[in-house]
Structure 1
Amino acid sequence: MGDRLRLAVGVMGNAASLLLYAAPILTFARVLRKKDTEGFSCIPYIIALLNCLLYTWYGLPVVSCRWENFPVVTINGLGTLLEFSFILIYFWFASARDKMKVAAILIPVVLVFGVTAVISGFLFHDHHHRKVFVGSVALVASVAMYGSPLVVVRQVLQTKSVEVMPFYLSFFSFIASLLWMAYGPPTHDLFVAICIVTKNPLCEARLHA
């Protein structure tokens, strides 16, 4: 019963996260149509890319025990493709100055992921310590991702318009957060639920079997 409930919540979490990651499609469809980024920031999409990369790595058997976090891998893998596509479109139509800003943020982001993957893969030799390390880095990226839309708050206050802060992006972010919070406790994986460090008893049992 517990496994079925966890799977059901994972599927719903995936659906909500898919809507969250797909929410900017309408925004970038307008960018493609107008061939102009209209001055909005690319920072939320770059931070979201880092978040997706880290949680995809976190859910793979290299870090997690076998495929215990398979739903985390599927949605974040898809999120990686979507966020990369959005960044590519933004970069293509951005001004030269904005392209420099994107590159200045994107390169360190890729380096952070690369260093995290190398350290977790070669310096730690058990799943628990790998999960603690990757989960801690992913926690920071996750907080940054959910907080990154705040960069447009100043623009909203100045223009008195919420056009640059779409309702559906905020709504699906809230729903996805609730569902993934519910997904974590049954497996004692609090990095997924509320991002608190904990051992996974199931993982430890497998390691010592």
Structure 2
Amino acid sequence: MTWKRDAVIGLKGTTTVGVIFRDGVVIAADKRASAGTFIASKKAQKIYAIADRIVFTTSGLVADAQILVRWIQNHVRRLTIERERPPLVKEVANLTAILLHNYFRSLLPFQVHFIIAGLDTFGPHIFFLDHSGAVQEDKFMATGSGSPIAFGVLEAYYKESMVEEEAIRLVLRALRSAIRRDTATGDGIDLAVVTKEGIKFFKPSEIDAYLKDLDKVLAEG
């Protein structure tokens, strides 16, 4: 006998985007959480700090994401103390993958996808993890219902030589395209950058300024 998790209607997050640039990573997410066709929240948090230079983005069932994030945060803090060094991004990705896969094999999977992004001694990294614990590393990534739209923008305009300002404009362009075309994505944008200085979460006014700058750049061709 199996338990059909998709019969349970819960709050779900939607679209998140991340890219690597020359000196770090940029992550963005919309703020909408839906329950079926109902917009349940317009202020959903989907970007979380896991370590000094590592962040998660979440898409999927909000309750599952929150529980997993707390568990990983606590585990990473313990490992940092035991090993007396910051964790590698890949180590955090593998730790999360093991947890996800264990629950997947038990037929009670978490309904959540992650982007794990950050900077360590080997440089910037972005990993995608699905609900089964499968891990994929890439230069850019998108998750959630609006990800096909976001990927179209990322595939067309991503460059490995990008500096921070270019990377910010790209993730905002990709996410805003998803907001305009995907009804489950919307209600504003959260934005974070990870560099050797640490994690910076942007204020709404700063994001608005970048969006206005993006409009200007696109208008100029």
- Provide TM-score, normalisation by structure 1: 0.29
Q: Which has the larger radius of gyration?
A: 1
Determine which structure has the larger helix proportion and give its number.
Answer: 1
- Provide TM-score, normalisation by structure 2: 0.27
